[in-house]
């Protein structure tokens, strides 16, 4: 399927945008990010170090998720509900 307009167009297979930039035709291929999830995590970690930023998720968020997972596993093991005192994130 192709969509055509007076200022550009779009192909759905392969996903591409056709337009003009400074009076020259431009084709922009769109698609999934070629990096893996792991590569993205490493890039984010390095960016946080270089820019002195807090990583996302941070340690507090990781602990919160781990407490939930631990409660799920314990509930499955016991075959019943379990109570937990999960600290709610302040964000």
Residue 70 domain flag = yes
- Average pLDDT over the chain reads 84
Report pLDDT digits (tens) over 10-53. 888 888 888 888 888 888 888 766 667 788 888 899 999 999 99
Residue 66 has pLDDT above 80, yes or no: yes
Residues of the chain above pLDDT 90, percent: 29
Query: How many angstroms separate the CA atoms of 18 and 26, rounded?
Result: 6
| Total residue length of the chain | 91
Query: How many angstroms separate the CA atoms of 9 and 26, rounded?
Result: 10
Residue 10 domain flag = no
Q: Which residue in this structure is represented by tokens 């698609």?
A: 31
pLDDT of residue 74: 94
Residue 53 domain flag = yes
Confidence of residue 77 (pLDDT cuts 50, 70, 90): very high
Torsions phi, psi for 50 (to 5 deg)? -65, -35
Host domain of residue 67: 37-78
Please tell me the total count of domains within the chain: 1
Query: How many angstroms separate the CA atoms of 53 and 45, rounded?
Result: 9
């Amino acid at each position: 399927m192709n969509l055509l307009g007076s200022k550009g167009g779009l192909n759905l297979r392969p996903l591409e945008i056709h337009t003009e930039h400074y009076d020259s035709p431009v084709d922009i291929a769109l698609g999934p990010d070629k990096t893996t999830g792991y590569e993205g995590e490493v890039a984010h970690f390095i960016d946080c170090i270089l820019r002195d930023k807090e990583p996302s998720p941070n340690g507090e968020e990781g602990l919160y998720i781990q407490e939930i997972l631990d409660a799920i596993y314990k509930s499955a093991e016991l075959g019943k509900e379990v109570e937990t005192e999960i600290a709610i994130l302040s964000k």
